[in-house]
Every structure is written in C-alpha cells, then in structure tokens.
Structure 1
Amino acid sequence: MKIIIVGGHGSIGRRVVHVLAKKHDIVTASRSKGNVNVDLVDIESIRELYETVGEFDAVICIAGEAKWGAMTEMKEGDYYVGIRSKLMGQVNLVRIGMEYIKPNGSFTLTTGILGDHPVDQTTSAAMVNGGIHSFVKAAALEMTNGIRINAVSSGLVEDAVEKYQDNFPGHNAIPMRKVVNGYIKSLEGKGNGEIIKMYDNS
C-alpha cells in the first residue's frame, strides 16, 4: 500500500515508519521534515499535500499540538492551539483526503490516554482527544467506497518516560512495539470507527 504518514519523524512516528516501510510504500509528511511538507493548521497546505502525493491507500496521522497549563491560567487562545492543530488538523486531513484516497483505503488518527484519563493541567489536551474520539465514531457512519477510519490512543510511551513521567504519576509505560501494533491493527485490520486503546484501563 501507499501510505502517507504525517508526523513520521516523532518518537512514535519514526517507529511506525520503520516497521511499515518493510512492506509498504511510505510517504512521510511534516512541517519541516519528510518527503512532503504539510502544516495541519493550514487547509490549503493539506490540499497541496494530497495534490503532490497523488493517489494513496491510507493516511496515518501522528501529529498535532495542544497546550498544557493550569485551567485558571489558560486563555481562550491557548485552547485554540489544540483545536486548530490536533483536532481540526486531523479532521481536515480526513475531510479533504476523502477526495483523493483510493476505494477501500483508511485513515488512522492519533489521540491519547487523556481523552479517558486526564491528568493535571490537561483540560485542553483532554478536550481535543475526546473530540477526535467522537469525530472518528461519527465519521465512520458516513464513510463510502469501503473507506475506514480509526484512532490509536496510547498512554505514556516508553520513549517519552524521562520527559513526561512526572505528569503521569503511577502510569505504566507502554512498550513502543505495542503502540506500533495499534497502527498496524488500524491499517491492516477491518475495524471501522474504533478507538484502539494502547494502555491499561485502570
């Protein structure tokens, strides 16, 4: 399959690219790295991505930003960082991508444990993750031509423990191979409208 991976150079993205490139044709995209540039907050940039790549079989997005901070200190504009980037950026990848994707293709979005188990200072990030979950479930009802959509939601991944462990007290680190398997399940499986959770439910 020809797969566009947005965010293929991050801690999770590069692992996904490494595994999937063994059997698929990978096109990486990001703001400054990869085969093609794309800015998720710019609709025209997203359309240009698809025009450049041409026909493809799947999109995997492992990108998007959201601001962390105390709710009492967050301004309205701080919330729009996540809304414009991680939420609407991924929504627009799907909306516009529907015009270009091959029949029986798939979209895989990325959220995280905060959608179900928020921690301190994550009102914006948790809100965005929850919004993506709901979008995926609703969008799956309207997919045509055999196209599927899912989201992979991970907990604190092994490669990010040193940086974020203080924000996730008591959380078990998720092995990177387990996280990668979530993307493989979405891409090569038959599920549609699923939130593939790669973390403990406790």
Structure 2
Amino acid sequence: MRILLIGASGAVGSAVCDALAGRHEVVSAGRSHGDHRVDVTSDASVEALFAATGQVDAIVCTTGGMHFGPLATMRPSDFDVGLQGKLLGQIRVALIGQQALANGGSVTLTSGIDEPILHAVNASAVNAGVEGFVRAAAMELPRGLRINAVSPTVMTESLPVYGPFFPGFESVPAARVALAYVRSVEGPQTGRVYRVWQ
C-alpha cells in the first residue's frame, strides 16, 4: 500500500512509520519535517498536500496541538488550540483526504485516553470529538472506505514531558501503540476506536 503519514517525525508517528515501512510505501508529511510540508489548520495547505501526493491507499494522522493548563485560567483562545489543531485539523485531513483515497482505502486518526486528568480539559474534549467524528463518518464513507481512531495512554518515550500529567498511570511503549495503527490500516474494521491503555 501507499500510505500518507502526517506527523511522521513525532513520537507516535515515528513508531508508526517503523511499523509500516517494511511492508508499504510510506509518504511522510509534517509542519517542518517529512517528504511534504503541511499545516493541518489550513484548508489550502491540506489541499496542496493531497494535490502533491496524488492517490493513496491509507491516510494516518498523528499530529495536532492541544492546550494543557488549569481550567481556572483557561481562556477561549487556549481551548481553541485543541479545536483547531487536533480536532478540526484531523477532521480536515479526513474530509479533504477522502477524495484522494483509492477504493477500499482507510483513514486513521489519533485521539487519546478519555480518563479525565488535571489540566487536560482541552485534551479530553478534543479526544471525545475525534472519536465521535470517526464513529459517525464510518456510516457515510463511500467506495468501501474505512475510518478508525487510535486512543493511546501516555507513552513511555513521552514520560519526560507528559509524565507529570499522568500520576499513577502505566505507560506503554511507542512500538505497542504503533500496532494499533497497523491494525487500522491493514485490517477490515471501520468506525472503531483502538484503545492502547495498558
């Protein structure tokens, strides 16, 4: 398969690339790294990406910014970071990208753990939105297209940065998270959320 991986240079994306590259052609894209540049908050940028890549068999998105901080000081502009980045950014990729998918192709988006944690109101709301979009979109996609999401807990490799937000949580290695993306890309299911929490 020819797979477009957006966010290939990140902790999740690099593990997904390693898991898929041995069997498939992986075309990477990101804001500042990869074969192509893309800003998922811009329709024009995403459209230009698909114009450059042409038809693909699968789209995997592991990118999108979010806001972490206490609710007491959160402003609407802070909350908008996750809405525009991780939520609408990934939805934008799916909506525009469906036209570039070969028949029977797939889209895999990224949500996250849905267990509420301190200072992650934005993340919790955005992750729920991603999952709701996936479940509803799966009913309407034509041509045998599929869509799923992967919901990982904190990764072992990300503990230096995100560990303080997850006290008492078991981390999982990035390679294990990547297997859920392989399952989504190579398997037959649609409308699923693959949870990798322990």
User: Into which bin does the TM-score normalised by the smaller protein fall?
Assistant: over 0.9
1:186 equivalent to 2:184? Answer yes
Q: What are the superposed Cα offsets for residues 154-192 of structure 1, whole Å, 9 maximum, x if unpaired?
A: 001110112222210110011222101100110011110
1:60 equivalent to 2:60? Answer yes
TM-score normalised by the chain length of structure 2: 0.98
**SS of equivalent to 2:142:** coil
For residues 169 and 163 of structure 1, what CA distance do their matches in structure 2 show? 13
TM-score normalised by the chain length of structure 1: 0.96
For residues 11 and 3 of structure 2, what CA distance do their matches in structure 1 show? 18
**In 1, are the aligned partners of 2:19 and 2:179 still within 8 Å (CA)?**
no
1:135 equivalent to 2:133? Answer yes
1:119 equivalent to 2:144? Answer no
Q: Structure 1: any 5+ residue segments left out of the alignment? A: none
Q: What are the superposed Cα offsets for residues 20-68 of structure 1, whole Å, 9 maximum, x if unpaired?
A: 1101001100011100000010011000000000010000000000111
For residues 97 and 13 of structure 2, what CA distance do their matches in structure 1 show? 20
**What's the counterpart of residue 3 of structure 1?**
3
Identity of aligned residues (%): 36
1:16 equivalent to 2:20? Answer no
For residues 159 and 192 of structure 2, what CA distance do their matches in structure 1 show? 26
1:71 equivalent to 2:71? Answer yes
Query: 160-169 vs 84-93, which deviates more?
Result: 160-169
Q: What are the superposed Cα offsets for residues 75-123 of structure 1, whole Å, 9 maximum, x if unpaired?
A: 011111110111001101111111111100000000110xx20200111
Q: Structure 2: any 5+ residue segments left out of the alignment? A: none
The one-letter code sitting in structure 1 at the alignment partner of 2:112 is G
**What's the counterpart of residue 195 of structure 2?**
197
**SS of equivalent to 1:172:** coil
**SS of equivalent to 1:8:** coil
- Runs of 4+, deviation exceeding 4 Å: none
The one-letter code sitting in structure 2 at the alignment partner of 1:67 is H
For residues 80 and 149 of structure 1, what CA distance do their matches in structure 2 show? 25
Superposed, 1:74-89 pairs within 5 Å as: 74-89=74-89
For residues 104 and 61 of structure 1, what CA distance do their matches in structure 2 show? 18
